[in-house]
Amino acid sequence: MDKQATVIGAGIVGVCCALHLQREGYKVRLVEKGEPGMKASFGNSGSFGTASCVPFAMPGVLKKVPKMLFDSESPLKLRWGHVPRALPWFLRFIAAARPSRVEEIAAARNSLLVHTHAGYAPLIEGADARQWVRDDGLMMTFESEGTFHNAAYALDLRRRNGVHMDILDGNEARQMEPALSPKVIKVVSLPDVNRTIDPFRLCSALAMDFLRRGGEIVNAEVRGFEVGGEGPTKIVTDRGPIDVETVVLAAGVWSRPLAKQLGTSVPLEAERGYHVMFANQGFELRRALVSADRSVSIAHMHEGIRATGVAEFAPPDAAPDMRIADMVMRHARALVPALKGEPASKWMGPRPSHPDSKPVIGRSPRHKNVLFAFGHDHLGLTMAGITGKLVAELATGKPTTVDLTPFRPDRF
């Protein structure tokens, strides 16, 4: 192992990058401020969103956003003090909602999604982590014909990108998932969507396998770089400088200031999501659920039932607003009336999102020894495996499994 790589960020994306680099013969160091997998990777909905080619920005969004921002029950929140920083992001977001752009973005996202299994399979097998993964599918629920009609374009976009879907009426859906509210009149069943019953335990299992294979995890906060003629020679941390050869920047939303120090500006925002955990419910959900009306996801996890939702635009380290978590709780109970009692816990995590709903995956335009892998929107868990594989291919000079042109760092 004469080749060395340092991966900044030990969320699910960074850990998968580290494992794939190890498989290419690299001696790898992970640098993470806290425990691996404890930020956005900790509290997501757990679904491997292989059907999620549809971008966040869709045609007609310009009419919807202002109303959503002033609706107290809306899944979109914006802290007003954050408006000056977020405004350029929203302008790019609106531009990405043009029909031609939506089609391009969906195809690009799908080019990664179809490789979800190939990116993960060797890592999950190597870590003996199969117990944390299920293949019981996902249901998208609709409580009115109007909501179902409004989803027609998004459903057709999925269908044209090869997603297998079954359309059920409410009674058929409740035979498959009895916990569903009687208000649900239609369901789109997505049988090929897998999930993890504990995103944190899955990430931890992969991180432990990384250590068993000779990797090193350094607990430190990266603050900058010392740059030579060929690129960074050291990363500067709160615990002193660290010599580096190849650098992979996979620090989620915290990648933005570090990328800027390396000469690349990206419009990366913290799209903060919330979850609540219900424990000791006395029943299990048979499928993961996503409500088109309520913009919440509900799934049975290792330690209870988790409801997730909301996109809150605010500084990544700002204190959470747990009133938003309470809103998620209310919508979850409306979709699954059997949910009882107060949540056992509430959580917030910052998703790293670009306005065009695509990650940055590629070599730094300024430094040949730096690779970028961040900004996976709602799909960090889903795309982590294939992202790691692509990063390892870039590092070794192999042809990449996926055309990375749509994900290049300088596309903005």
Identify residue 23 by its one-letter amino acid code: R
pLDDT at 1: 55
> Could you state, in order of their start, the residue ranges of all structural domains in the chain?
3-41+201-265+357-407, 47-99+130-194+268-353
End-to-end Cα spacing for the chain: 36
**Buried b / exposed e along 33-64 (16+ C-beta atoms within 10 A):** beebbbbbbbbbbbbbbbbbbbbbbbeebeee
User: Residue 63: its pLDDT value, please?
Assistant: 84
**Tokens standing for 331?**
């919508």
β-sheet bridge partners, residue 389 = none
Q: How far apart are CA 234 and CA 244, in angstroms?
A: 5
Phi, psi of 226 (to 5 degrees): -105, 125
Structure-block tokens of residue 374: 């961040």
Contact in structure between 271 and 312 (CB atoms under 8 Å): yes
Q: pTM score, two decimals?
A: 0.97
- Does CATH place domain 3-41+201-265+357-407 in 3.50.50.60? yes
Residue 133, Cβ density class (10 Å: 0-12 exposed, 13-18 middle, ≥19 buried): middle
Q: What is the pLDDT of residue 349?
A: 96
Ramachandran region, residue 70 (left: φ > 0; alpha: ψ -120 to 50; beta: rest): alpha
Phi, psi at 286, each rounded to 5°: -85, -25
Q: What distance in Å separates the CA atoms of residue 36 and residue 11, rounded to the nearest whole number?
A: 6
**Count of other CB atoms within 10 angstroms of residue 342:** 9
Cα 228 from Cα 243, distance rounded (Å): 12
Evaluated on CA atoms 280, 283, 288, 294, the torsion sign reads: negative
Tokens of 265: 């500006």
Architecture of the domain whose range is 47-99+130-194+268-353: 2-Layer Sandwich (3.30)
Q: What is the dihedral of CA 56, 57, 61, 65, to 10 degrees?
A: 60
Q: For 168-182, how does the pLDDT look when each residue is reduced to its tens digit (9 = 90+)?
A: 999 999 999 999 999
pLDDT in the model for residue 67: 77
Mean pLDDT by 10 residues, the chain (412 residues): 92 98 98 94 96 96 81 89 94 96 98 98 98 97 97 98 98 97 98 97 98 98 95 97 98 98 97 97 96 97 97 95 97 97 96 98 97 97 98 98 98 95
What is the DSSP track for 90-117? HHHHHHTTSHHHHHHHHHHHHHHHTTHH
H runs (alpha helix) in 127-227? 145-150, 152-160, 170-176, 199-212
Burial class (CB in 10 A: 0-12, 13-18, 19+), 81: exposed
